[in-house]
Chains A and B, each alone.
Chain A
Amino acid sequence: MQHGRTLIAALLAGTVAAGPLWAQATHPETGETLAEDQTFVYRALDESPSIDPQKVEDVDGSKIVRNLFEGLLNTDAEGEVVPGVATEWEASDDRKTWTFTLREDAAWSNGEPVTAEDFVYAWQRAADPATASEYAWYIQLMKIVNAAEIIAGEMEPTELGVRAVDDRTLEVSLTEGVPYFDQMVTHATTFPAPRAVIEEHGDEWTRPGNMVSNGAYVLTEYVPGERLEMEKNPEYWDAENVIIERVVRLVINDENQALTRWMADEVDWTLIPAGQFPRLKEEHPDAATSVPELCSYYYWINLSESGPEALKDARVRKALSLALDRNVIVENIMAGGQPPAYTFTPEATAGYSPPEVEAETMTQAERDEMAKQLMQEAGYGPDNPPPPFELIYNTSEAHQKIAIAASQMWKQKLGVETTLANQEWTTYLTARGNQEFDLARAAWCGDYNEASTFVELLTTPSEYNDGKYSNPEIDALFEEAATSDDPEQQYQEMERLAAEDTALIPIYWYTNAFMLDPAIKGWPYENVSQDWYAKDLYRVAQ
């Protein structure tokens, strides 16, 4: 029954072809015949904590918000910024002042025009302590004037460095030049909010019937934990070019269950469980896809005072990193086309290519040889191993398999013992954040498509540096990069130093492996953030 799906598709195609021809619309640009039912159904792992643009905090929630609302700018199929509500934007020479010109026909779903004031309100709302948004930090990250003070409660939200010059002009003042500020306003936190509606309904403004939005879709049904439905917004400025009429999000917690329902044609898009990509690619070559993702999988090494002495020796760290056969992990465990990583920042990051490091050019046999030698130099050998290291990871089959593989490799090649500690998510985060580990599984995904979001973790002051690695040379390079015209050089140098010193153990760069119904076209395969807009998709008749 592997081909059951194709069979059903063929039958359906037969019925359609036999039907009256007048019902068939075609795509205005490509001329492809469009399916009659323009519905797109996708799967989410869990219910999202919020679908309020200023409070949304997860990837799945952002997908919903991106379709219900429209920010100043959008990203296209390649991930480049394109006009959204703003048609033009420019930065001052020092990149500290950004001015956006809003389109005249942008409207809320209740017919009211979208004005610069709606953005000012939204951004103030995100920073306002009364909103208590977890993403208040994003406004701070954007370096908007007074953001930090407002979050700290020292200033009124109205003092935020953003103002409506007139209905169509938004001006933003930053504390320092941010060259990639245009990328940052494609993020959900910066989307406009309808003040009158929020003031009328309070927290319940996000319910269907209450919610007013300015995106290509409006919320029509929301049963948390089960389904969410959006329908085309007739008030959207570009509504005539929106082909998908209905977008449905289903919550399916179990990955395999989601895959079965994809096979049964109940879902158009779902992620592929770890290890199953090769099989699915063979069975469904036109549906199974793997694209690079802006995330890095690695092990933190505890270099703080609570960390083991042995790991403070860079030779031991390097030996552990070298002895880890990444090819076994990406090919036999993950099997989703993930590239093995020898440096931290993913190669798919825009404007960045990883520096070539020694380990990458060697064969695994050479790496193992070097690892053994380094251990010997550090005074350890098979008869004299360092005390066992504790490796913590959060509960997940894939993390467990990788941890087992790593501990086996270290044991066989270096005689190093590792105790594996599987912890429930919040417990694990707490342990990691408090340096209660020797080695810890970790992953980092870029907040925006630029290398600084990754390399910052290697710096001493970073709050996310859970390994407490510290290297003044790297810190200096990071500061230098902030004002550089071509920061790639500094980023590469930081990575090279970090690899030399084994600040952490990079393992692989993520890919996004998913099943997409071949009838759905317009998917942004080249967009590394995989930010899709249902308004750009369409379903062809089959």
Chain B
Amino acid sequence: MTSYIIRRLLVAIPTLILLVVICYLLMFSAPGGPFTSERPLPPQVMANIEAQYGLDQPMWKQIWDYLVGIVTRFDFGPSFAYRDRDVNDIIQQGFPVTLTYGSIAFVLATVVGVALGVMAAIRHNTVLDYIAVGATFSAQALPNFVMAPILVIVFTWQLGWLPGGGWAGGQWQYVILPVVALATSYMASIARIARSSMLETLNANFIRTARAKGLPERTVIWRHAMKPAMMPVVSYLGPTFVAMITGSVVIDLYFSTGGIGQLYVLSALNRDYSVMLGITILYGALTILFNLVADVLYAWLDPKIRY
């Protein structure tokens, strides 16, 4: 197992380098650059700025310098769009924000989603099941860009209970709405996966055997059904966790959290190459890491799996 983990982590290095190269190529193939503006800059001013950011170098040199900066100094370069800041700075400020509301939303979505799904499956075709299925369907029909404005209209404008945006260093009042808006649709997906997977497991032969042995239902579900039923949920949770902690564009934009999610889109639109790359690398590294975590969890959930 340990050697498997080490092997996977080593493979991650060329994967990330490849990611940087592809990203660079894609970015440079997009029209315009970070300093394209409605008011075209005089050529001399443009040349001065490009020289400052090394954009006058050939592309291989740019990629090389960029990689060297990361490896030797852990320096992801200056931001092109935010002239007074560098990428490390931007990620240091934005990532803790999304990590906070993303993790809370993840825990909320997972706990409530799994509980709802499992409950619905156990009480299959009862009122409880219908309510749970109905609730998850409506939650899924309320993606975060619909949830966010609704929450603000109700809880900020009408009731005046919670602030309609901002982060204020992560005070609880500011965290609630982003968490709820982000968690809702994920929760619904998790509940639906958990329900169908649990239903399938409950119909499996080994469960029939367990019941035939006369085991109490509680033991059947907790000891025998739960682990295998959670396999599809876990494989969904790996990438979902990464998606949630790296933030959501919608949540960041609607709630002005200052998080990193909005930067992912903004940096692409602004052609802010270095921020775009920095976030891509972060996103890529986290995806690789949590896919590995999910794989290790598999092995724990399913004794048949050996690495």
Partner of A140, one of B32, B42, B266: B42
- B39 at interface (Cβ–Cβ under 8 A)? yes
Cα-based distance from A431 to B32 in the complex (angstroms): 9
Which residue of chain A has the shortest Cβ distance to B33 in the bound complex?
A: A426
- B57 at interface (Cβ–Cβ under 8 A)? no
Q: Which residues of B contact A224 (CB under 8 A)?
A: 82, 85, 90, 93, 258
Cα-based distance from A394 to B94 in the complex (angstroms): 28
Most chain A C-beta atoms within 10 Å of own C-beta, residue among B41, B165, B259, B270 = B165
Q: Which residues of B contact A427 (CB under 8 A)?
A: 30-32
- Does B165 contact A257, Cβ atoms closer than 8 Å? yes
The A-contacting residues of B in range 254-304, CB under 8 angstroms, are 254, 256-259, 262-263, 266, 269-271
- A332 at interface (Cβ–Cβ under 8 A)? no
Interface mask (B176-219 → A, CB under 8 Å = 1, otherwise 0): 00000000000000000000000000000000000000000000
The B-contacting residues of A in range 1-58, CB under 8 angstroms, are 1, 4, 8, 46-47, 49-52, 55, 57
- Does B165 contact A137, Cβ atoms closer than 8 Å? no
- A484 at interface (Cβ–Cβ under 8 A)? no
Most chain A C-beta atoms within 10 Å of own C-beta, residue among B30, B35, B38, B252 = B38
Interface mask (A265-276 → B, CB under 8 Å = 1, otherwise 0): 010000000000
Cα-based distance from A52 to B45 in the complex (angstroms): 17
Interface mask (B120-149 → A, CB under 8 Å = 1, otherwise 0): 000000000000000000000000000011
- Stretch among A231-239, A246-254, A283-291 lining the B interface: A246-254
- B152 at interface (Cβ–Cβ under 8 A)? yes
- A132 at interface (Cβ–Cβ under 8 A)? yes
- Does A49 contact B82, Cβ atoms closer than 8 Å? yes
- Does B164 contact A257, Cβ atoms closer than 8 Å? yes
Partner of B256, one of A8, A203, A206, A225: A225
Cα-based distance from A46 to B252 in the complex (angstroms): 12
- A136 at interface (Cβ–Cβ under 8 A)? yes
Nearest-CB distance from B217 to chain A (Å)? 48
Q: Which residues of A contact B257 (CB under 8 A)?
A: 225-226
Cα-based distance from A224 to B259 in the complex (angstroms): 9
Tell whether A50 pairs with B40 under 8 Å between CB atoms, given A137-B45, A257-B149, A431-B31: no
- B13 at interface (Cβ–Cβ under 8 A)? no
| Number of residues of chain B lying within 8 A (CB) of chain A | 53
Cα-based distance from A57 to B156 in the complex (angstroms): 33
Most chain B C-beta atoms within 10 Å of own C-beta, residue among A1, A46, A51, A132 = A132
- Does B32 contact A137, Cβ atoms closer than 8 Å? no
Nearest-CB distance from B131 to chain A (Å)? 30
- Does A52 contact B84, Cβ atoms closer than 8 Å? yes
- Does B157 contact A50, Cβ atoms closer than 8 Å? no
Partner of B157, one of A4, A424, A429, A431: A4
Q: Which residues of A contact B69 (CB under 8 A)?
A: none
Cα-based distance from A430 to B40 in the complex (angstroms): 10
The A-contacting residues of B in range 147-174, CB under 8 angstroms, are 148-149, 152-153, 156-158, 160, 163-167
Q: Which residues of B contact A485 (CB under 8 A)?
A: none
Nearest-CB distance from B275 to chain A (Å)? 11
Q: Which residues of B contact A50 (CB under 8 A)?
A: 82-84
A-B contact pairs, 6 of them (CB 8 A): A132-B49, A224-B90, A225-B262, A254-B254, A261-B156, A426-B30
Nearest 8 CB-CB pairings of A with B: A226-B258, A426-B32, A132-B52, A225-B258, A129-B48, A50-B83, A430-B31, A430-B32
Known: A51-B84, A261-B152. 7 other contacts (CB 8 A): A136-B48, A226-B167, A252-B256, A266-B165, A430-B36, A464-B39, A464-B40
